Structure 1
Amino acid sequence: MKIIDPHLHLFDLTQGQYHWLRPENPPNWPDKSVIQQNFNEHQLALDSPLTLVGFVHIEAGFDNVQPWRELQWLEANCQLPFKAVACANIGLPTEQFIKQISQLQQQKSLIGIRHILDDDAVTLLSKPQAIDNFNYLAAEQLSFDCQLSFADDAAIIALCQVLTQIPELVCIINHAGFAPLTTNTPEFHGWHHNLQRLAKFPQVVIKCSGWEMQNRHYQASAIKCITETCINVFGISRVMLASNFPLTLFSCSYQGYWHQISTQFQPQLLENLCYNNSKNWYKLDSISIT
């Protein structure tokens, strides 16, 4: 089973800033010390029959003012094929945003940007300069990793308005929109409704991961249920499974996570969820399955 992990983070606390990892800053997790250390690609090694053949690095707060520094560090220290989703502020005046993107484009690993929207989603997505900035991203063939909660109906409506205006923008939803881990609840039905809203846009893709951020003791059956729901709504080619390493360590080892995934789905489906779709949407064309 060959894997391209489309959502992970590597840290070098001696080089980057990582304000969110500092004990005095949120998130205020009691077990935060588990991830307050350096992580490099050697810690991503998997035992047979699992093989990590590439990954997508998602920005981790290395330097939000000079986000290209994180990509420079990655390119100097990683040997596996990878692409990088960099930090960029979608709310910047467009001239500044273009300058930031141009600096990021000096790094060959760049494939897209992420701006964690969370509670600011409606405000940010409604800014006129955000529309201009998204247009620029689409024109440059860069994707947008979108992190927000599907419990926020107003945010989903605002995102749909952006996608209607810019049908060329590839939008990749992080952590399955924080799907509730229990089904047959009002929260799950609300998530499912917003999933259907976004599935109408063919340029929207969804990554299933981040389970440990909601419940350190999540069940593998929840992963299967949410992923299958995403497949039913989006289709097989627009769903990816990812790890969110090193946050996976709150619940299990990296090996343990992918072993758990491998037991939940049939081999042909796993090939799409864990390899083909990541390779396609993040343009990891240099990787061969043979």
Structure 2
Amino acid sequence: MDTSRLAVERAIIMMWNHYDEPLSLDEIADSAILSKFYFSRVFRSVTGTSPGRFLTAIRLSRAKNLLQETTLTVTDIAYMVGYNSLGTFTTRFTRSVGVSPTRFRSLSHSGLPALPRPEVSAPGGSGTVHGTLTLPPSNTPLRIYVGAFEGPVVEGLPASCDVLDIHADGCRALEYRLGAVPIGQWYVRATAVAVDWSESVSRPDARKPVFVGSSKPVVMRADIAVKLGIRMRATNTIDLPILLALPELDNRLPPGPMQNTSRATRLVLR
């Protein structure tokens, strides 16, 4: 492993351990044993985002956990994850997760309503992204989320999304399709979580990403179809936390019987 990646990993571990503190760029760079200017460049080249944005993602990810796992007030949680203003915390949480902190906690009991799967062209035109997801071997059922996002952080509502279920010992190459992707530049991100339907329906918060996949930015033009293959890999330290309200709040059962363990099914999102 190269020294730059090791330095970034040290910084990320430090952020996870001290996210509740008012960390400065100097302090984070010191943990990587790099000057802050060089560190910022290296950090972005390794993770795809800035140290400050990564720290924000860690704080909001931890807030999601606390909203589900505790009865602490939203105000208490805001301060526990490093915010000095409830308003700032609520605004950033809502923008990144897609629902307010209070709504997120409420939905943890009932599950997230189905996300619309866009099929109608967006104003100004749209296109389609499709291709194959290649997954590492796994002996557990997986639910895979694929979405088009404005930036490298998986946050807010995707411009278009697809959800696939793969049964234990199922196929390792899956076809996905993102319809009605608006004109512009988009980041396609895929996340696979292990699911045990005998338990996860009642405890969707227990689902943690096991594989992730990404691509270079896709430039979408009107009425075109972009073919994009994505090779997924096991998660590691440098992966940004997922801020979208999925998969924690997704308690929908997969369509069809679960007895067949050699196939994949698409979860209808409408």
**TM-score, structure 2 normalization:** 0.28
Task: Mark the structure with the bigger radius of gyration.
Answer: 2
**TM-score, structure 1 normalization:** 0.27
Structure with the larger helix share: 1
Structure with the larger strand share: 2
